[in-house]
Structure formats: structure tokens, C-alpha cells
């Protein structure tokens, strides 16, 4: 945990003004969408947030929103790019008017955190691949975090955020933007190819986590 916290503090010091602005605004803007859809479609804020979070794994944000809007409006899905089993869960969450992710994603701490953040609770960080890599200062890290190691990362983000007088989710979003700026996809793939040459990453699934 001390090493992860040092890495996060160091990266925060490298964040640009743009990183800070984009990170500080990201979740409030997402929440405004959740609030609008809650009013439009007649579902609770927590249900709308859970539907969006259910669709999110391996789905970019723009597609995530289009698909979630289709689900909430009960329209045919107009775009691909979602894991079918997660789409099924999103329908179930909508129909159940659920406000919790655990019954649908018992092994999914990331989507549970993301739903809370989307619903306006910024007290916990969402640890996706980029947030994990930033904490480890390792662009090749690609671990599936179960609940216990996931909580280690969320606690590290929380402790550093408290020192910076930031909410955990806002701090994580700033770190996310800084990390993505410093290590865009092209650089990550270049590093991966370098390691392939020495046989370190044979047979992994690293590309799927970029």
C-alpha cells in the first residue's frame, strides 16, 4: 500500500491543469446524465446508474451511453460493442428497478463502485485497468481484481485523496486522465512489443485491457 500511494502522489504531481479540470468534471457530468435519464424514463437514480455500469465492462463511454439509453427507453439496441451477458443483466436491473449491483455482479467490485460514482457517491474510487496500472506504475499490469485486492487499491486512492482534500472518485478521475495522457494506446503497444521480443508476455491478453 505505501508503494501504491507513492506512485499515485507522484503521478498527481505530473497532472496538468487540463488533467485536473477534465478529471474534476467527469463524474459530475456523468451524474447530470443519470439525473436527466431518471427524470425522463421514470427510474431511480440508482437504477439508471446500475444500468449504465452493467454495460460498461469493455465498452467505451460513448457506446456505453448509447446502449444504456436504448435499454432505459426500451428501444432496440442501436449499436454493438457490449458484452451480451452484461446487456442481459442491464435489462434485468431495469426490470427489477434494482439499486444494487451485487446480486447481478457478485464478483464485480469495479462495476459496483462505478454505479455508486455515477449515482453521485464520490467516496470510493472505481479501479479499472488504468487506475490499477497507475497505482502500480506499470503499463503492462493486467490483473482481474477480486474484492480483497480491489479494496487495497480503493483504500490507497482514498488515503491519498484525503491528503489532497479531494473526493476519492474525483482524484481517481484526475489520475485516469493523467495516466491516459502519459501512456496512450500507441505507447502501451510499443512497450508490449518490446517485451514480446524477450518472451515475457507470450500468450497473454494484455491488448484487451488497453
CA proximity to 56, closest of 136, 130, 115? 115
Instruction: Read off the pTM.
Output: 0.87
- Which pLDDT score is estimated for 210? 34
Q: Which range, of 32-41, 47-56, 159-168, 178-187, averages the lowest pLDDT? A: 178-187
Burial class from Cβ neighbours inside 10 Å (0-12, 13-18, 19+) for residue 121 reads middle
Phi and psi based region of residue 16 (left: phi greater than 0; alpha: psi -120 to 50; beta: remaining): beta
**pLDDT tops 90 at residue 196:** no
Query: 156-186 pLDDT, tens per residue?
Result: 999 999 999 999 999 999 999 999 999 987 6
**pLDDT tops 50 at residue 152:** yes
Query: 105-148 pLDDT, tens per residue?
Result: 999 999 999 999 999 999 999 999 999 999 999 998 887 888 89
Which residue's entry shows cell 449499436?
Answer: 79
Q: pLDDT averaged over the chain?
A: 90
Q: What is the mean pLDDT of residues 22-39?
A: 98
Check if the beta carbon of residue 53 is closer than 8 Å to that of residue 115: yes
Q: What is the DSSP-derived secondary structure letter of residue 123?
A: S
CA proximity to 209, closest of 159, 156, 139, 153? 139
Q: Where are the domains of the chain?
A: 2-183
Amino acid at each position: 500500500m505505501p508503494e501504491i500511494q507513492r506512485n499515485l502522489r507522484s503521478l498527481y504531481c505530473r497532472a496538468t491543469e487540463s488533467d485536473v479540470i477534465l478529471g474534476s468534471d467527469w463524474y459530475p457530468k456523468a451524474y447530470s446524465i443519470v439525473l436527466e435519464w431518471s427524470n425522463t424514463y421514470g427510474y431511480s437514480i440508482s437504477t439508471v446508474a446500475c444500468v449504465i455500469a452493467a454495460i460498461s465492462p469493455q465498452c467505451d463511454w460513448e457506446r456505453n451511453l448509447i446502449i444504456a439509453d436504448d435499454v432505459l427507453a426500451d428501444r432496440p439496441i442501436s449499436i454493438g460493442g457490449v458484452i451480451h451477458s452484461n446487456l442481459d443483466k442491464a435489462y434485468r436491473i431495469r426490470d427489477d428497478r434494482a439499486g444494487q449491483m451485487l446480486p447481478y455482479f457478485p464478483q464485480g467490485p469495479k462495476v459496483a463502485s462505478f454505479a455508486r460514482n455515477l449515482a453521485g457517491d464520490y467516496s470510493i474510487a472505481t479501479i479499472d485497468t488504468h487506475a490499477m496500472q497507475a497505482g502500480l506504475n506499470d503499463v503492462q499490469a493486467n490483473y482481474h481484481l477480486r474484492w480483497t485486492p480491489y479494496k487495497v487499491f480503493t483504500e490507497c486512492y482514498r488515503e491519498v485523496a484525503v491528503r489532497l482534500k479531494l473526493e476519492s472518485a474525483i482524484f481517481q478521475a484526475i489520475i485516469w486522465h493523467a495516466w491516459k495522457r502519459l501512456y496512450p494506446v500507441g505507447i502501451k503497444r510499443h512497450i508490449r512489443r518490446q517485451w514480446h521480443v524477450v518472451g515475457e508476455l507470450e500468450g497473454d491478453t494484455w491488448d484487451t485491457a488497453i
